[in-house]
C-alpha cells in the first residue's frame, strides 16, 4: 500500500511540474515571435551602416582615428551577453564555454583578460574566474533594449580603447540562425574593422568633402556603428534565449508526459498485484474453512 501511495503522490507532482513547463513553453513561444521580429528588422539597419563605414574605411585618414588604430594585443576586453535566468537549455553554457576557451588562449599568449558582463549568469560565472577582471556587470535589458541602455557599455569600451587601457574589444553573444539553431559567436568591435569587399563600390568616397571634418564625422559615425552592433547582438541574444527556453520547456514537458506514463504503469501494476494478493488470501481462507 505504501508503494502505491508514493507512486500516486509522485504522479501528482510530475503532473504539476508538467503544467508549469507547458505554461513556460507557451510564454517563451509568444516572446520568441516578437523578439525574432525585432532582430530581423535590425539586421538590415546594421548591414547598411556596416556597408557605409566599410567604404569610409578606404580613406587613409581613417587609420589615424583613435578607434581604428591597431596595436599589439596585450589586454583584451570581452563583452559577454547572457540571460538573467536559467532554464534556457544550453544558452548560457554555450556562451560561457566560448568565453572560457578565449580566456585560456589569452593566458597562453600572455594576454590579460577583462570582462563586461551583461546578464546575471555571465556576472556570476566571471566572478569565479581567477585573474580575470570584471570591469562592469549589467542585468539583461528586457526584450527591447534602447540606446540609453547600451550607452554606458559603449562609453566604457570607447574610453578604455582610446586611453589604451585595452588593445582589443570582443563581443560574445548568441546568434539566431533559426528556431532550432543558435550559435555562440564572437566578433571584434575594436579596433573598428570593416570588410574590404563591402567597401568595393563604384561610388568612391575619395572625392567627398566631409563637414566639418573627417575626425568629427568619424567620432559620431564610428560610435554609432558600435552601438548598432551591440544593440543588434542583444536582439539576437534575446531571440535566441526565448527560442532555446521554448525548446527546453517543450523537452521537459514531453519528458514529464513519458514519466507520467511510466509511473502510471507502475501504479497499475502495483494495484493489480495487491488485488491478486487479496483474492489469493480470500480463496485460501475459504479453502481453509472447508
What would the pLDDT profile of 51-91 be if each residue is shown by its tens digit?
Answer: 766 666 666 566 667 777 788 899 999 999 999 888 888 89
Closest CA to 46 of 251, 227, 248, 288: 227
> Which residues span the domain enclosing 113?
26-246
- The pLDDT assigned to 59 comes to 62
Residues 168-210 pLDDT 10s:
999 999 998 888 889 999 988 888 765 555 444 444 555 566 6
In-domain check, residue 257:
no
Query: Is the pLDDT score of 251 beyond 80?
Result: yes
Q: In this predicted model, which residue has the larger pLDDT, 179 or 211?
A: 179
Residue 160, Ramachandran bin (φ over 0: left; ψ between -120 and 50: alpha; else beta) = alpha
In-domain check, residue 136:
yes
How many percent of the chain have pLDDT more than 90?
A: 41
Residue 145 DSSP code: -
Query: Residue 62: enclosing H or E segment and its boundaries?
Result: none
**Joined grid coordinates for residue 107:** 593566458
Q: In this predicted model, which residue has the larger pLDDT, 197 or 160?
A: 160
Contact of 119 with 113, CB cutoff 8 Å: no
In-domain check, residue 282:
no
Contact of 77 with 115, CB cutoff 8 Å: yes
pTM of the model: 0.82
Strand order in the sheet with 182-190: 133-138, 112-118, 75-81, 168-176, 182-190
In-domain check, residue 165:
yes
In-domain check, residue 228:
yes
In-domain check, residue 1:
no
Instruction: Report the distance separating Cα 25 and Cα 192, nearest Å.
Output: 39
Domain count, the chain: 1
CATH number for the domain harbouring residue 60 = 3.40.1380.10
Q: In this predicted model, which residue has the larger pLDDT, 50 or 149?
A: 149
- The pLDDT assigned to 199 comes to 44
Instruction: Report the distance separating Cα 169 and Cα 78, nearest Å.
Output: 6
In-domain check, residue 70:
yes
SS3 label, residue 176: strand
Closest CA to 187 of 172, 176, 167: 172
Least confident stretch, 98-102, 129-133, 258-262: 129-133
Closest CA to 52 of 236, 217, 173, 234: 217
CB count within 10 Å of CB 159 equals: 11
Instruction: State mean pLDDT over 123-137.
Output: 90
Contact of 97 with 187, CB cutoff 8 Å: no
Contact of 170 with 116, CB cutoff 8 Å: no
In-domain check, residue 134:
yes
pLDDT bracket for residue 287 (50, 70, 90): confident
Amino acid at each position: 500500500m505504501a508503494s502505491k501511495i508514493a507512486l500516486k503522490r509522485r504522479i501528482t507532482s510530475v503532473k504539476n511540474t508538467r503544467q508549469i513547463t507547458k505554461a513556460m513553453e507557451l510564454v517563451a513561444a509568444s516572446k520568441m515571435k516578437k523578439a525574432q521580429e525585432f532582430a530581423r528588422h535590425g539586421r538590415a539597419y546594421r548591414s547598411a551602416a556596416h556597408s557605409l563605414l566599410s567604404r569610409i574605411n578606404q580613406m587613409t585618414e581613417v587609420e589615424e582615428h583613435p578607434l581604428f588604430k591597431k596595436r599589439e594585443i596585450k589586454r583584451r576586453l570581452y563583452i559577454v551577453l547572457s540571460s538573467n535566468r536559467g532554464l534556457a537549455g544550453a544558452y548560457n553554457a554555450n556562451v560561457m564555454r566560448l568565453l572560457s576557451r578565449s580566456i585560456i588562449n589569452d593566458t597562453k599568449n600572455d594576454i590579460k583578460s577583462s570582462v563586461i558582463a551583461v546578464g546575471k549568469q555571465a556576472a556570476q560565472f566571471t566572478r569565479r574566474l581567477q585573474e580575470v577582471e570584471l570591469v562592469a556587470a549589467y542585468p539583461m535589458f528586457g526584450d527591447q533594449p534602447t540606446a540609453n541602455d547600451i550607452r554606458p557599455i559603449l562609453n566604457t569600451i570607447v574610453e578604455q580603447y582610446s586611453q589604451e587601457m585595452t588593445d582589443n574589444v570582443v563581443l560574445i553573444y548568441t546568434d539566431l540562425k533559426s528556431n532550432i539553431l543558435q550559435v555562440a559567436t564572437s566578433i571584434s568591435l575594436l579596433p573598428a574593422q570593416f570588410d574590404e569587399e563591402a567597401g568595393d563600390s563604384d561610388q568612391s568616397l575619395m572625392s567627398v568633402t566631409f563637414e566639418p571634418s573627417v575626425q568629427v564625422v568619424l567620432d559620431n559615425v564610428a560610435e554609432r556603428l558600435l552601438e548598432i552592433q551591440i544593440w543588434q547582438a542583444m536582439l539576437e541574444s534575446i531571440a535566441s534565449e526565448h527560442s532555446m527556453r521554448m525548446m527546453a520547456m517543450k523537452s521537459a514537458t514531453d519528458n514529464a508526459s513519458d514519466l507520467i506514463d511510466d509511473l502510471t504503469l507502475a501504479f497499475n501494476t502495483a494495484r493489480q498485484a495487491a488485488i491478486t494478493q487479496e483474492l489469493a488470501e480470500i480463496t485460501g481462507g475459504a479453502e481453509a474453512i472447508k
